[in-house]
Amino acid sequence: MPVGAIEPDQVHLPEVYVNRIVKAEDTTKRVEFATVSTGGTPEIPGKGESKIKRERIVRRASQELKDGMYVNLGIGIPTLCSNFLAPGVDITLQSENGILGLGPFPLAADLDPDLINAGK
């Protein structure tokens, strides 16, 4: 939306309360657990029958995603749905921390600790 299209009195945001500020000694940005892509076909976790069942669930759930949707897929199996979209289906993913336009897992070289979702 263009700047000024919404009246300031119509915008409602939670207030922020600051009780203290602590200077950090170590400001190195870390990724707690990195999930990266190998650049190949996405892999369904698991083995044997459980892997077959997971893939069936993921493939079926991905059929519910229609072109143009904005989707928050959550953690775990739902996250995999975007890897099995029908040809021509383009969706916009939203992560749990509000990032719109989330894409596939990055290659290790493209890992950015400032852009991470709850699925790591």
Distances (CA, A) of 41 to 11, 25, 44, 68, 80: 43, 41, 10, 23, 12
Instruction: Enter the DSSP assignment of 85.
Output: P
- For residues 79 and 42, the answer to whether their CB atoms sit within 8 Å is no
Cα 104 from Cα 57, distance rounded (Å): 19
Q: How far apart are CA 11 and CA 103, in angstroms?
A: 29
Beta strands in 35-87 (DSSP E): 70-71
Catalytic positions: 96
